[in-house]
Amino acid sequence: MDLDTDLGGGEANMGATRHTRMDDPHYLKPIAKSKMPLYDGSELSRLTRALMLLNTCATHWVINGFVDELFSLLCNYNLPKPNKLPRSHYEA
């Protein structure tokens, strides 16, 4: 099985790569950011808190606009500053 043939081959796939390099900064930067504590002294990571909120919202069929406002309220008024909680559904 030839990857170029399966994807249509030729010049259209010149920028495509077969594997993500584990030392690629575009791959490592989001991983490093996700492991950061939510704020100084927090036991939860940025990723853990975002996933908890997104899972709760998905379980209860909450619309994305509400999720955006919830993240904004938590970031700006409920969590100590500075905090690293995503500011929106998209960023999460």
Segment 3-46, tens digit of pLDDT: 444 444 444 545 555 566 667 777 667 667 777 888 888 888 88
Tell me the C-alpha distance between 66 and 89, whole Å: 9
pTM: 0.60
- Is the N-terminal amide bond of 30 cis, ω within 30° of 0? no
Question: E strand or H helix at 9, and its extent?
Answer: none
Determine contact, residues 70/53, Cβ cutoff 8 Å.
Answer: yes
Question: E strand or H helix at 20, and its extent?
Answer: none
The domain segmentation of the chain, as residue ranges, is 3-78
